[in-house]
Amino acid sequence: MLDLPVRLLLIEDNPLHRRLIQQLLTADPQLQCEVEAVERLADGLARLARNDVDLVLLDLVLPDSQELETLLRVRLAAPQVPVVILTSLDDVKLAARAVESGAYDYLVKSNLKSTALSRSIRYTLSRARARGGEWDSPMFRLAQQQFLKAAQYMDLDDNIRQRLLFPQRTQVVSFPFFRDDRSQVETVFGYRVQHVLSMGPTKGGIRYHQDVDLGEVAALAMWMTWKCALMKLPFGGAKGGVRVDPTSLSKRELQRLTRRYTAEIIDIIGPDRDIPAPDMGTDEQVMAWLMDTYSQQVGHAVPAVVTGKPVVLGGSLGRKEATGRGLVYLIKASAEHLGLDLSRASAVVQGFGNVGSYTARFLAEAGVKLVGVSDVSTGLFNPNGLSVDALLAHVAEHRVLAGFPDAEAISNQELLELDCDVLALAALQNQVTVENADRLKCRLLAEGANGPTMLEADDILFERGIFVLPDILGNAGGVTVSYFEWVQGIQNLTWTLEEINARLQTILLDAFHRTLKRAGDNHIDMRTAALIEGVSRVTEAKLLRGVFP
């Protein structure tokens, strides 16, 4: 519920538009508001200083301020007050950039209707309120802004746009588990978020990490929706997580934590409901415990409740390496498109866990020279090439890359800026930013990690002509083979590795070529093109299913 009346500040220099908007606002009985209108930015800023405005309706082109500077000055004066942009039809691009820079929405003045205006205001206020809570995370904001950018390019139906901005179902739990000495009970927070329930069961990994929060899990769930739709898999997106550092736990503690977390979310998961999988900090063993806990509860073995489990429990051949393998299939297709000879190319891989290590291995198999690699402990550089086998042997012995002898130790920042043909990101979010996007020296940026590139950095990469394999395409190999695992599980079938890899390649390359064509046809970057592919499919399904009741 909104606090009424809503206090609106309208900053608009055109008297006709000012009057029109005021009339429209008073015409909607659902929205009780007090509107104060000013013509100049300076008057608007003075008004904001009184600290009692709920929302700003802002024209970007004013007598005393122009374009994005207008928005930036408003945001600086009142960072917590949401802004909706008022734009004319020939300035929509500018309005879209304003949304990328933090405005909540934009409205075109020439075809403004009372319902659209009032809905945008109501929705903006509820989004602003959600941001005040745990939703507010840089990753969730990034996922929303990426989606809004795609929505603007594709002129997405307003109702659908607002429906897809937040997940449909969220479970937040806090739960205890015993530490090994039994005198200590640790309480942790866990999450399971299902973004879209219209496409079939939901699907998405479970992350154990000390920084996990609701916003991060929600962002990852949203990306899963677009990824599954881009791959044409019959799933909506989901994600789960527990805010805990798994490296600080013994194996027995990890098992107790996993079993209790499973029990907490058991009502919303299941082979026909929501199917978890591994992500950062979780692995095959964690999936085995999850499957066992679920099966104990229902009284019989249910392998299809999770994917990414060990093969002996019904896991799929090829699942463990699928994300790295898929990324390298796509790197090969991109190299062909760019005219890059991979047998003479060099690569740098950030992250050396599941995705990074398999990416490095398959790149090496394709003849690519690996000149840099990193993990949480260090970056490594060797212009003559690093042996993936030697790196794997070192990590098997020491757990991390630090101390590897045949390379120069560098920082993760330096690693990103190394001269190379392919830069593969397989660690964390938020790695390529406005600060370093100008200094990247690769031709191809391949995203194995989720959310590694910030929105503003995307524009810089696009202008610089760096070809990007965006995360929802680049790392989709994992969920695609998870889909195969689920299909094999519910039908009690087993496919050969050759069959799995061939099917994986077909699905990934189909998505790659559709994305490439859309990017070329519409002169847009690969990420926006991939998002539009995914969002269009979800939109079509949502419109066909309709609204209940």
Choice between 70 and 480, CB closer to ligand NAD: 480
- Segment lying near ligand NAD (by CB under 6 A), choices 118-126, 420-428, 483-491, 525-533: 420-428
Distance CA 137, CA 144 (A): 11
Peptide bond into 549 cis (omega under 30): yes
Interacting residue with ligand NAD among 82, 167, 303, 351 (CB under 6 A): 351
Q: With binding defined as CB under 6 A, does residue 470 bind ligand NAD? A: no
Number of residues that bind ligand NAD (CB under 6 A): 24
Choice between 207 and 332, CB closer to ligand NAD: 207
| Shortest distance, position 278 Cβ to ligand NAD, whole Å | 6
Pattern 307-346, ligand NAD, x by CB under 6 A: ----------------x-----------------------
Q: With binding defined as CB under 6 A, does residue 279 bind ligand NAD? A: yes
Choice between 161 and 325, CB closer to ligand NAD: 325
The token duo for 221 is: 């769930």
Choice between 453 and 539, CB closer to ligand NAD: 453
DSSP-derived secondary structure for 348-373: EEE--SHHHHHHHHHHHHTT-EEEEE
* The residue type at 441: K
Examine the residue annotation and report whether 239 is marked as an active-site residue of this protein.
Answer: yes
Residue nearest to ligand NAD (CB): 353
The token duo for 337 is: 């498109």
| Shortest distance, position 354 Cβ to ligand NAD, whole Å | 4
The token duo for 33 is: 């508001």
Q: Give 62's DSSP letter.
A: B
Interacting residue with ligand NAD among 48, 427, 504, 529 (CB under 6 A): 427
Q: With binding defined as CB under 6 A, does residue 412 bind ligand NAD? A: yes
User: Could you say which of 109, 227, 239, 320 is catalytic?
Assistant: 239
| Shortest distance, position 106 Cβ to ligand NAD, whole Å | 31
| Shortest distance, position 212 Cβ to ligand NAD, whole Å | 11
DSSP reduced 3-state for 245: coil
Nearest to 343 by CA among 371, 365, 325: 365
| Shortest distance, position 280 Cβ to ligand NAD, whole Å | 4
Q: With binding defined as CB under 6 A, does residue 280 bind ligand NAD? A: yes
Choice between 215 and 478, CB closer to ligand NAD: 478
Interacting residue with ligand NAD among 475, 480, 488, 505 (CB under 6 A): 475
Q: With binding defined as CB under 6 A, does residue 278 bind ligand NAD? A: yes
485-490 contacts at long range (C-beta below 8 A, 24 or more positions apart):
485/307, 485/308, 485/309, 485/314, 485/315, 485/316, 485/319, 486/203, 486/271, 486/275, 486/304, 486/307, 488/314, 488/316, 489/271, 489/303, 489/304, 489/307, 489/314, 490/271, 490/304
Residues numbered 364-403 forming contacts with ligand NAD, rule: CB under 6 A: 374-376
* The residue type at 171: Q
Q: With binding defined as CB under 6 A, does residue 485 bind ligand NAD? A: no
Interacting residue with ligand NAD among 265, 363, 426, 526 (CB under 6 A): 426
* The residue type at 92: V
Distance CA 308, CA 326 (A): 15
| Shortest distance, position 276 Cβ to ligand NAD, whole Å | 12
* The residue type at 318: G
Which strands sit side by side in the sheet containing 369-374, from one edge to the other?
A: 408-410, 379-381, 369-374, 346-350, 422-425, 444-447, 467-469
Peptide bond into 5 cis (omega under 30): yes
Alpha carbon 70 to its chain centroid, in Å, reads: 29
The token duo for 533 is: 């592919």
> Which conformational region is residue 467 in: left (phi greater than 0), alpha (psi within -120 to 50 degrees), or beta?
beta
Pattern 137-156, ligand NAD, x by CB under 6 A: --------------------
Interacting residue with ligand NAD among 281, 303, 314, 318 (CB under 6 A): 281
Interacting residue with ligand NAD among 204, 478, 489, 534 (CB under 6 A): 478
Catalytic annotation, residues: 239
Interface contacts to ligand NAD, rule CB under 6 A = 278-281, 323, 350-356, 374-376, 412, 426-428, 448-450, 475, 478
